[in-house]
Amino acid sequence: MNETRVGTRELKSRLSEYLRLVKAGQTVVVTERGKVIGHIMPVPLTLEQRMQALADAGFLVWNGNKKLKPRHPKIINRSDSLISDIVIEDRR
C-alpha cells in the first residue's frame, strides 16, 4: 500500500493535492510534530468492484450481472471431541 506522510500545516495548505492522492488509492498519514495523529484513506471497494477488478486482471471469469452474496464456510466436526479441545491439544 502506498503511503504519504504529511504534517498538519502542509496538509492544510495543499489539501486538494493530498485528496487527489487519496482518490488515486494512496493513504495519507497526518503527523503533528513528528507524531502520527491520523490517516486519510480511500473508501474501500465493494465486493462487486473487487470481483470486477479480478475479472479484468484475468484471475476469474465473471459477467458482472449476478449480485454476489457473501458465503459463510460450514465446518462439520464429525468426532466426539470439541473443537476447542482439539485446538488446545494441537497447541501442546
Q: Where are the domains of the chain?
A: 3-40, 47-91
Which residues fall within 8 angstroms of residue 30, CB to CB, at 6 or more apart?
6, 7, 8, 11, 36, 37, 38, 39, 40
- Answer with the residue of higher pLDDT: 27 or 68: 27
How confident is the model over 47-70, as a mean pLDDT?
81
Given a contact cutoff of 8 angstroms between Cβ atoms, the answer to whether 41 and 27 are in contact is yes
pLDDT band at 92 (very low <50, low <70, confident <90, very high): confident
**Mean predicted confidence (pLDDT) in 57-76:** 77
Q: Which residue has the higher pLDDT, 85 or 39?
A: 39
Question: Does position 38 have pLDDT exceeding 70, yes or no?
Answer: yes
Architecture of the domain defined by 3-40? 3-Layer(aba) Sandwich (3.40)
- The reported pLDDT for the residue numbered 1 is 59
The pLDDT confidence band at residue 77, using thresholds 50, 70 and 90, is confident
